[in-house]
Amino acid sequence: MKDISVLLTTGSARTIGEAIASGALSALTATDWYLDRIQQDKEGAKGLNCVRSVSLHAREEAKKADAELAAGRSRGPLHGVPYLVKDNVFTTDGSFASAGASALAEFLPPYEATLVSRLRDAGAILLGKTNLTEFADFVSDTMPSEFSGAGGVVRNPLGQEYGRGQGSSIGSAAAVAAGFCAFAIGSETQNSIQAPAVYTSVVGFKPTVGQVSRYGLIPLVPGQDSPGPITRTVDDALLIFQAIAGPDMNDTATLAHFPAETGSKKALQGLRIGIPRRFMADNLINDDHKAKFNDLLALLSRAGAIIVDRCEMPAAEELHAVRSCVFRAEFHESLNTFLGRLKPCGMASMRDIIAWNHSHPEAIPYGQSLLEAAARAPGIRSPQYLNDRRQDVALSLHRGVLAALAAGNADILMSPMTVAAKCTGKAGVPVVAIPAGADADGLPFGVTVYGAPGDDYAVIYAAKAIEKEIGKRLLPTFTAWGD
């Protein structure tokens, strides 16, 4: 292959896999190319700092992948394709898993996450770990998404900053956009895949909670946590979901149900797309964003989709106003369980983390107000938590997503930017973020497509059809590693 740079920086994981399978490109060449690009970024004066560490085993795994292909054994479309995982995922490749916290900066996981094992089984090559917002953005209510004590500041390859509330999988999104890997793994509790995807002009897919195992991930809110792919195309998100999803005895949430793919490939023609407006799309402050969204709906309508507008959630106003203890309570409980079991870096409880931060104030320049609030949270068996959890699910799911789908007889729902993130997070439903070009200021614009719990394939195939009509990535214009 004459010039692999265009393929590896902008190509899909599927096309990269096809090039490797055909012999036009080797897995080792692709791996070395990405590792060199990551190293240049680390050495440059204006690096993105999206990658925290690289795997000690990447080149050996790539050589093994090439040898298997040479022997006529293919593991599938991801065979030999290099990827990165978020720094809250356990690996046994010699890299740390810190969740961005300085107190855990040198924690070596004792075992591997299920999703990493499944990607290895699929033949994908682990390159290393991406930086994230510290503790998935639950340390301080003033900390920007770009920051973590362990990893520092991640820069958006499109030029703007990752500001407050733009989701914690920022390193994974930046790495995919800038061409440091073919795809990456993020995780979402409320907006941590979809927001970085929208603001970095890439695709992000958060599966239904329980469709992808969380075993081997540092938790935030287990009732809402869901790992998923960040990619350049919706088709790639499908490929990776197929590789990592499925029941896992180490995560009982995955044993409840699993969607069948059969019968879910609905084309755009006749697809009923519901548009929640009240306290959703209506909440867009930017008039240009409102106009942009309406223009995209018109394009989809002309292409044959049926736009159900308005398709309201009965509890939209209540959900917008609700304040819940669920994040604080589940974070406190799950982090204490994790720390108490493994005692990483000598930390046995959330109180230990807080005390360590007090002793190292340089590690928390934005303070730790959310951590301290979580430490005071009611227990998960308390009446307050149980009532708040029931309320969250009732408002977001039963009187939210499911009610809107039923009211409009809609196949899926769609919203601009990340206005639906609070709802989709509490409801635990599948969400695909699709880049849709730029706004009037040249900044990324995107939409999110979501549906009922377990309808992951239906949502993905609808997103593929929508992407074909309105999908448009903004490519990075940064001059990396400059003076």
Residue 117 lies in a domain: yes
> Which residue among 55, 102, 192, 201 is the active-site one?
192
Q: Are residues 163 and 102 in the same domain?
A: yes
Residue after which a domain boundary falls, among 255, 288, 309: 255
- Which CA distances in Å does 360 have to 148, 154, 368, 376? 14, 21, 12, 21
pLDDT tens for each residue of 132-155: 999 999 999 999 999 999 999 999
User: For position 267, what pLDDT does the model report?
Assistant: 84
Q: Are residues 340 and 358 in the same domain?
A: yes
pLDDT tens for each residue of 36-53: 999 999 988 789 999 999
User: For position 284, what pLDDT does the model report?
Assistant: 87
CATH, residue 238: 3.90.1300.10
Query: Is residue 192 flagged as an active site residue?
Result: yes
Q: Are residues 46 and 142 in the same domain?
A: yes
The token pair that represents 127 in the structure block: 């390159």
Question: Which residues span the domain enclosing 361?
Answer: 326-378
pLDDT at 341 over 80: yes
Share of the chain above pLDDT 70, in %: 96
Q: Are residues 351 and 434 in the same domain?
A: no
pLDDT at 26 over 90: yes
* C-alpha span between 430 and 433 (Å, rounded): 10
CA distance from start to end of the chain: 31
pLDDT tens for each residue of 158-188: 999 999 999 999 999 999 999 999 999 999 9
Residue 167 lies in a domain: yes
pLDDT tens for each residue of 60-70: 999 999 999 99
pLDDT tens for each residue of 181-192: 999 999 999 999
* C-alpha span between 380 and 171 (Å, rounded): 31
Residue 475 lies in a domain: no
What residue has token string 């999803």? 245
Mean pLDDT (the chain) is: 95
Number of domains in the chain: 3
Q: Are residues 223 and 170 in the same domain?
A: yes
User: For position 478, what pLDDT does the model report?
Assistant: 62
User: For position 477, what pLDDT does the model report?
Assistant: 76
Q: Are residues 243 and 277 in the same domain?
A: no
Q: Are residues 450 and 350 in the same domain?
A: no
Residue after which a domain boundary falls, among 378, 412, 441: 378
Residues 448-461, mean pLDDT to the nearest whole number:
96
Residue 476 lies in a domain: no
CA pseudo-torsion sign 374, 376, 380, 386: negative
Residues 450-456, mean pLDDT to the nearest whole number:
96
Q: Are residues 310 and 353 in the same domain?
A: no
Residue 261 lies in a domain: no
> Which residue among 12, 26, 55, 86 is the active-site one?
86
Burial of residue 113, with CB atoms counted within 10 A of its CB: 0-12 exposed, 13-18 middle, 19 or more buried: buried
Residue 267 lies in a domain: no
pLDDT tens for each residue of 423-438: 999 999 999 999 999 9
pLDDT at 482 over 80: no
Q: Are residues 332 and 230 in the same domain?
A: no
Query: Is residue 86 flagged as an active site residue?
Result: yes
Report the range of poorest mean pLDDT among 55-64, 78-87, 281-290: 281-290
> Which residue among 55, 140, 168, 226 is the active-site one?
168
Residues 76-92, mean pLDDT to the nearest whole number:
98
Residue after which a domain boundary falls, among 342, 361, 378: 378
Share of the chain above pLDDT 90, in %: 93
| Neighbour count for residue 404 (Cβ, 10 Å) | 24
Residue 302 lies in a domain: yes
- Which CA distances in Å does 483 have to 46, 47, 50, 124, 479? 7, 10, 18, 34, 9
Residue 164 lies in a domain: yes
User: For position 483, what pLDDT does the model report?
Assistant: 37
- Which CA distances in Å does 411 have to 265, 275, 402? 12, 11, 11
Residues 457-468, mean pLDDT to the nearest whole number:
97
- The pLDDT confidence band at residue 286, using thresholds 50, 70 and 90, is confident
Q: Are residues 189 and 292 in the same domain?
A: no
Q: Are residues 197 and 59 in the same domain?
A: yes
Q: Are residues 367 and 464 in the same domain?
A: no
